[in-house]
Structures are given as structure tokens and as C-alpha cells.
Chain A
Amino acid sequence: MKIAITGHTSGLGKFLHQQLSNSHSCIGFSRTNGFDLKADFDQIIKQIYRCDIFVNNSFAMGEQLNFLKEVQNIPQVVIGSIAARNPDINMPYYSQKKREIEEYFLKHYTHTHNKSLYIQLTGKSYQDYQLILRSINFWLENPQLNFIGYRTK
């Protein structure tokens, strides 16, 4: 399968890109490989549409929401955050945008047949990259799954 992923050069995105590349053809979009998620939005969207799955990973100062809205016709994995429900007072903009992302997903991707997955990261699960990878692989086999959330502690 051909998988597109944003923010593939650091953190979770880097790990997923590396691991998913073992059995899929992965194409990554990050500033470090010449893609500005804001300035090059249209060009990236065109390339995403040539893929089978889009891992909407990078927050990119809220640009993640625009990718969620724009990519309607191929299955997405959206990396969400518990900050959407429990706002982090140190990061009000991040919390607010993550909330808009979760609300948009629940409003448009749950009662439709989009075969998309929302991953709600909480607490320690942020660091448990293997668990997130297992979750995505499980969803690839069970595309009717729509939402996976983790324990806070």
C-alpha cells in the first residue's frame, strides 16, 4: 500500500514512517525534506491523493485541521490529543486546535463510511510508539474501527 505521512522526520512521525516503510511504500512530507505544510499545501494534497492512506500526524501550528478537512476521499489516520478534552493551560492554542480537529473528525468521519481512524493520545501513550503502531496495524486489518483512545496513567 502507498501511505502518505506528514511530519515524518521527528518523534512519532519518524518512527511510524520507518516502521510502515518495512511493508508499505511511504512518502513523507516535512519541512526538512522541502515541504512546508502551509506554503506547499496544494502540492502536498495532490501527492496525498495518489496514496491509499494518509497519516495526518504533524500538528504544524494547526495546519493539521486543514489537511483533515481537505483529504475527504482516502482513509486517514488522525493523530489527536487528549488536550482536546482536557485543555493544557500552557498551550491554549494547541489545545483549542486539537479540539477543533477532534470535533471535526467526530462530526464528519464517524457516521460516514470514510474508513478513517482517530488516535487519541493521552499521558504516557505519547511515548509508546510501538502501541500506536500496533493500533494502526490493527486498524489496517479492521478498517471499520473509527477511534482508539488510551489510558491517561
Chain B
Amino acid sequence: MIVSITGHTKGLGRYLYDHFSKEHTVVGLSRTTGFNFEKDWKKIVDAISESDLFINNAYLNNNQNLLVDEVKNKVSKIVCIGSQARKYPNLVGIEYSKNKQQLYNMVDEYTSLDDTNPCLHVDLGFMQLEESDIDDPCKVKSPFYTTYKEVSDVIDFWLDNPKIKNIEFETPITDEVMIQLKNHNPDI
């Protein structure tokens, strides 16, 4: 099948791009490969519409939400990469939480309709970090993080079990995670 994915040049997106490339044709949509959300919207939508599975990965304001709304009836399978952060607006920033909650709501509503295509929403916990992120004070270092492989395993499992509509990872907010969050946002 043809897989399309946004944000495929780093982090989870790159891992998923490599993972699906083993058995499928993957079309990567990122700024660095000539797909800019602001300038190339139509080009992005067209590329997604020609694929069989769209992995809605890149977060940029509410672009994930606009995209799923636009392509939901044009592509046979969609995976939306969400975040448990949607449940904790006071810990991680209200705008981000709000957009992620809205994404969840959209998938929830879409999958509750008759005759819609399979669509999965995944809530990630704190993520595995890239080596380059280790010293980044803005990245939360959790002892219990979601690995890239766990996410690809979840998507593979869902492809075999498309009646599933959402899968969430646990997000342990330990004392050491709380300290980091407070450093990022003193208002907590």
C-alpha cells in the first residue's frame, strides 16, 4: 500500500517512515522535502488523497485538525498522532492541549458515524528522546516514556484490528517529571 506521513524527517515521524518503508511505498511530507503547510496545502492534500494510509503526525498549531477534516473521506485509513497532554492543559500549555483535545474529539465523532473509513487516534505519553534532545531543557525526560517502536507496533496491531478507534499510553507524572514541568512553566 501507499503510506503518507507528515513530519517524516525527525523523531517519531522518521522512525515510522523507515518502518513502513520496509514493506510499503511511503510518501514523506515535510518542509525540508518541499511540503510547507502554509504554502503547499493543496499539494499536501493531493499527496495524502493518493495514499491508502495517512499518518497524521506533524504538529503545527491546528494543522493536524484541518488536515484530518479535509482528507477524512479521501483516504481509506488514517492514524492521528495525539497526546495525553490533551488531558493536562495546566501542565503543558493550553494551546497545545486544546488542539490535541480537538483532534481527539474529531476522530471520536468521525468514527462514530456509519460507513466511515478506519481511523485510529493514538495518545502518546512522554516520548523517547533523540540524542540531540538530551540536553534540551524544554524536553521532558521521563523514566517511563513511549518508544517509537511501541507506536509502530500499535499501528501494526490496529491495521489488523481496524475496529479499534483509540489507543492510549500511560503517562506517569513522577516527581522528577513534575519538577521539569514546573521549570518550563512556573505557574503550575
Interface flags, B136-176, vs A, CB<8A=1, else 0: 00000000101000100110010001011111111111100
Q: Return B115 CB to nearest CB of chain A, in Å.
A: 8
**How many residues on chain A are close to B (CB under 8 Å)?**
27
Which residues of the partner chain B approach A125 to less than 8 Å between Cβ atoms?
A: 163
Which residues of the partner chain A approach B87 to less than 8 Å between Cβ atoms?
A: 106, 110
Range of interface residues on chain B? 20 to 34
Q: Are A142 and B166 within 8 A (Cβ)?
A: no
Q: Are B125 and A144 within 8 A (Cβ)?
A: yes
Which residues of the partner chain B approach A96 to less than 8 Å between Cβ atoms?
A: none
A148 touches which of B88, B164, B170 (Cβ 8 Å): B164
Interface flags, A120-153, vs B, CB<8A=1, else 0: 0000110010010011001000101111111111
A151 to B110, CA, bound (A): 10
Interface flags, B113-141, vs A, CB<8A=1, else 0: 11000000001010000000000000000
Q: Are B163 and A151 within 8 A (Cβ)?
A: yes
Q: Return B147 CB to nearest CB of chain A, in Å.
A: 8
A150 to B171, CA, bound (A): 21
Which residues of the partner chain A approach B88 to less than 8 Å between Cβ atoms?
A: 111
Which residues of the partner chain A approach B167 to less than 8 Å between Cβ atoms?
A: 145, 147-149
Residue pairs across A and B with Cβ atoms less than 8 A apart, 23 shown, are A110-B84, A111-B88, A116-B170, A131-B161, A131-B163, A135-B164, A142-B153, A144-B125, A144-B169, A145-B167, A145-B168, A145-B170, A146-B170, A147-B123, A147-B166, A147-B167, A147-B168, A148-B166, A149-B164, A149-B165, A151-B112, A153-B112, A153-B114
**Besides A112-B172, A149-B167, 16 other CB < 8 A contacts?**
A106-B87, A109-B170, A111-B170, A111-B173, A113-B170, A113-B174, A131-B163, A142-B150, A142-B153, A144-B146, A144-B150, A144-B169, A145-B167, A147-B167, A150-B164, A152-B111
